[in-house]
């Protein structure tokens, strides 16, 4: 709508200036006629005196109309520029607000997805096969746990793998040993997900780590969730190990980024991103941007700024139900002025 208003105003200006130009041509012809009339009157001598007065008045009127035309043309040019500037400001404000809504919606969709992951890890940590693997360690218990994890993975395709680590931080079972052969026996005691998972307060608690690449999972981008495996699967039971689940981040995040409702023109020249709490790119329509810092300076939980002739719109994660979110932002960067 704003663009239509600008276009109409500029078209009106164009038509008006064209008519003024036509008027200027008529006045020029009038001035020439007035000059010729004065010359003919001078040749006529005494008989042409009265006509000389008329010719002079014609010249005066023509000059006044020409001056008025020039003033009108200047006023129209100035006001047209003001209309265009106001229209551009309206367009930027409108697009910035729309982009901010889309950015917040994108991160909210991801939060709803990740809320389910937080439910999964707490539920599966109470599975009897998982609990037995750390409480009654042995080959049979590990094999049963591996089978159980594999069954879960066949149903929950958004995960790359599920790992069970004992209290010392040694992985004793995973769901895809045929794909990830170096997992069982690995020491994960120094990894963030294990240390924080072991320290969870109870069975209702969980931890989630920043999105990172996982060397033992083929360098894939993962969001890792963890919680303690507790004695007897009880909510207040003693921590006997840790369950870590590895969400296959890249395809899920790409689907959300690519699904944002931008026009073809907007998408061609815009960056669409998810940023973590450190303003690090964790998803983008430019895949090579993963892990790079982005200079976002949010002034509120939602909004937009104009920087270097670009609209930068953002929305902070609102969280979802009991999942408070991780301080992530959806972000869209787009040229302030789209090509016509």
Q: Quick one: 152 and 208 in the same domain?
A: yes
Last residue of a domain, which of 65, 90, 115?
90
Q: Give the mean pLDDT of the chain.
A: 87
Residue 317 lies in a domain: no
Looking at residue 320, its pLDDT comes to 77
Beta bridge partners of 164: 173, 243
Q: Quick one: 183 and 244 in the same domain?
A: yes
Q: What is the full DSSP assignment across 90-118?
A: HHHHHHHHHHHHHHHHHHHHHHHHHHHHH
Return all residues near 252 (Cβ < 8 A) that are at least 6 apart.
110, 113, 158
Residue 183 lies in a domain: yes
Q: Quick one: 78 and 192 in the same domain?
A: no
If you count DSSP H runs as helices and E runs as strands, how many of each does the chain have, helices first?
7, 11
> What is the model's pTM?
0.76
The C-alpha angle with vertex 139 and arms to 134 and 145, in degrees rounded to 5, equals 55
Query: Which domain covers residue 146, as residue numbers?
Result: 125-252
Residue 110 lies in a domain: no
Looking at residue 12, its pLDDT comes to 66
pLDDT tens across 91-128, in order? 788 899 999 999 999 998 888 888 889 999 999 999 99
Question: What does each C-alpha distance from 125 to 24, 202, 239 come to in angstroms?
Answer: 86, 11, 11
Residue 318 pLDDT level (bands cut at 50, 70, 90): confident
pLDDT tens across 171-182, in order? 999 999 999 999
Last residue of a domain, which of 227, 252, 277?
252
Residue 42 lies in a domain: yes
Looking at residue 59, its pLDDT comes to 64
Residue 106 lies in a domain: no
pLDDT tens across 16-48, in order? 777 667 666 766 766 676 676 666 666 766 665
Q: Is residue 340's pLDDT more than 60?
A: no
Looking at residue 88, its pLDDT comes to 72
Looking at residue 228, its pLDDT comes to 98
Q: Quick one: 68 and 169 in the same domain?
A: no
Task: Provide mean pLDDT across the span 266-270.
Answer: 92
pLDDT tens across 191-244, in order? 999 999 999 999 999 999 989 999 999 999 999 999 999 999 999 999 999 999
Q: Quick one: 134 and 83 in the same domain?
A: no
Domain count, the chain: 2
Looking at residue 52, its pLDDT comes to 64
Residue 227, phi then psi, degrees to nearest 5: -155, 160
pLDDT tens across 68-101, in order? 677 777 777 776 677 667 767 787 888 999 999 9
Q: Is residue 55's pLDDT more than 90?
A: no
Minimal CA–CA distance to 141: which of 153, 130, 152, 157?
A: 130
Residue 181 lies in a domain: yes
Q: Quick one: 7 and 73 in the same domain?
A: yes
Task: Map tokens 């009339």 to a residue.
Answer: 37
Give dist(CA 305, CA 297) in Å, integer.
9
pLDDT tens across 158-169, in order? 999 999 999 999
Q: Find the helix or strand (DSSP H, E) in which 330 lies.
A: strand 329-335
Residue 338 pLDDT level (bands cut at 50, 70, 90): confident
Q: Quick one: 56 and 141 in the same domain?
A: no
Q: Which two tokens stand for residue 191?
A: 């990894």
Task: Provide mean pLDDT across the span 136-152.
Answer: 97
Looking at residue 65, its pLDDT comes to 67
Q: Please enumerate, as own/partner, the contacts of 95-100 that have beta carbons within 8 Å and a separation of 24 or more.
A: 95/311, 95/334, 96/303, 96/304, 96/305, 96/306, 96/311, 96/313, 97/304, 97/313, 98/313, 99/304, 99/311, 99/313, 99/332, 99/334, 100/302, 100/303, 100/304, 100/313, 100/314, 100/315, 100/332
């Amino acid at each position: 709508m704003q663009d239509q208003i600008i276009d109409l105003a500029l078209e009106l200006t164009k038509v008006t200036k064209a008519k003024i130009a036509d008027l200027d041509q008529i006045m020029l012809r009038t001035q020439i006629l007035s000059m010729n009339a004065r010359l003919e009157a001078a040749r006529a001598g005494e008989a042409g005196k009265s006509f000389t007065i008329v010719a002079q008045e014609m010249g005066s009127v023509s000059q006044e109309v020409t001056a008025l035309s020039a003033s009108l043309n200047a006023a129209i040019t100035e006001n047209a520029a003001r209309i265009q500037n106001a229209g551009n400001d309206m367009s930027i404000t409108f697009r910035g607000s729309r982009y901010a809504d889309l950015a917040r919606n994108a991160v909210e969709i991801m939060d709803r997805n990740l809320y389910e992951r937080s439910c999964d890890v707490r539920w599966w940590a109470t599975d009897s096969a998982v609990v037995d693997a750390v409480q009654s360690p042995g080959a049979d218990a590990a094999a049963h746990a591996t089978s159980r994890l594999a069954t879960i993975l066949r149903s929950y395709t958004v995960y790359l793998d599920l790992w069970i680590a004992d209290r010392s931080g040694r992985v004793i079972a995973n769901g895809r040993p045929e794909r990830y052969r170096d997992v069982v026996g690995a020491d994960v005691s120094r990894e963030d997900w294990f240390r924080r998972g072991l320290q969870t307060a109870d069975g209702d608690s969980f931890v989630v780590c920043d999105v990172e690449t996982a060397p033992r999972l083929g360098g894939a981008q993962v969001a890792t969730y963890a919680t303690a495996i507790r004695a007897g699967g009880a909510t207040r039971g003693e921590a006997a190990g840790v369950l870590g689940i590895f969400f296959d981040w890249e395809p899920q995040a790409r689907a959300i980024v690519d699904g944002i409702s931008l026009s073809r023109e907007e998408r061609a020249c815009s960056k669409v991103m998810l940023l973590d709490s450190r303003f690090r790119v964790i998803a983008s329509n430019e895949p090579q941007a993963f892990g790079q810092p982005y200079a976002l300076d949010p002034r509120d939980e939602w909004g937009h700024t104009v920087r270097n002739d670009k609209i930068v719109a953002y929305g902070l994660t609102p969280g979802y139900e009991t999942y408070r979110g991780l301080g992530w932002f959806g972000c869209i960067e787009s040229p302030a002025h789209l090509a016509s």
